[in-house]
Amino acid sequence: MAEEQCVFVVDDDADVRDSLRVLLEASGFTVRVFTSAIHFLADSGPKNGCLIADIRMPDMSGLELQEEIVRRQIQLPVIVMTGHGDVPLAVRAMKAGAVDFLEKPFDDNLMLASVRRGLEAGSRAAGRAAEVEAAKNLLAALTPREHNVLDKLVKGRSNKIAAYELGISPRTVEIHRAHIMDKMNASSLSDLVRTVLAVGQNTSAS
């Protein structure tokens, strides 16, 4: 069962935290608030949904928090809130991958629309992460020789050419190919290629 999506709010201003909680919960969102980026990062709970962070906070700014999330490979879309004159910082955040930025005082409807976009992006990211994990598990079940054969297959080699390059018989390649298809729950070569691409393996011809 998928984890429930949550909107994480990180801001050192209590009034902003409270107003965002009221707005978001009234619109049906699950909300968790944090007084600082440090407290958010120290929290061990699941990070599924999206994050709203103030761009300027003591100890760690919203931009630094975003960079740390990327470094830790946390799949969490970020929305940054900016004060007057902080738009250049917000642009930096967008270039670093933030899905949106809103200027304070923010418009409620714009905030809700931004959160919905963030949660949609979060769902897509979670789906990709699950796909990558599943692909890694499938590939881990292959033997070293099967990995060699798979590499040739996704590079477009025929059974005959793959056999020649690997120094084995075409019949052996066919047997390995059948085992690979079975282990990876693949019904076609395109299924194999899709799985390999999901984990970012090199499939370019050589």
Model confidence over 156-179: pLDDT tens digits?
Answer: 888 899 999 999 999 999 999 999
Task: With respect to residue 112, please indicate whether it lies within any of the assigned structural domains.
Answer: yes
Task: With respect to residue 133, please indicate whether it lies within any of the assigned structural domains.
Answer: no
Average pLDDT over residues 71-87: 85
Residue 205 above 50 pLDDT? no
Write out the residue range of the structural domain in which residue 166 sits.
141-198
Q: Which residue, of 128, 149, 173, is where some domain finishes?
A: 128
Q: Residues 114, 15: one domain?
A: yes
Count the domains in the chain: 2
Q: Residues 67, 149: one domain?
A: no
pTM given for the model: 0.68
Q: Note whether 53 and 79 are within 8 A (CB).
A: yes
Q: Residues 123, 42: one domain?
A: yes
Strand order through the sheet with 49-54: 31-34, 6-10, 49-54, 78-82, 100-103
